[in-house]
Amino acid sequence: MIDVLFFGRVADIMHKRQVRLPLNTSIGTLYALRRHLFGEVMESGRMEVATLRMSVNQTITRSDQPLREDDEIAFFSVFSGG
């Protein structure tokens, strides 16, 4: 199982803050998970890949990588502030 967390605008769009998913071959990488979760949202134009940030085990990343059991993945929008 993997834990997926949603923050900010992403949580608003997904109507949830967290989901726990089984790790399988169809979502075995970070980009595959992103497509699985956000494909329909992106196709509808409510979110763009360029505005979606990701982290794996609390380390921000922009690259695809294999996922492992018990990973914590977070998706969040670009933050601003001062």
List per-residue pLDDT tens for the chain, 82 residues long: 999 999 988 999 899 999 999 998 888 999 999 999 998 888 888 878 788 899 999 999 999 999 999 999 999 988 655 5
* pLDDT at res. 46: 80
Handedness of CA 6, 48, 56, 26 (dihedral sign): positive
* pLDDT at res. 67: 96
Cα–Cα distance for residue pair 15/59, rounded to 1 Å: 24
Domains of the chain, CATH where assigned: 2-77 (3.10.20.30)
* pLDDT at res. 41: 82
Question: Does the global pTM surpass 0.75?
Answer: yes
Q: What is the DSSP string of 18-76?
A: EEEE---GGG-BHHHHHHHHHHHHHHTTS--GGGEEEEETTEEE-S--B--TT-EEEEE
Give, as one character, the DSSP assignment of residue 4. Answer: E
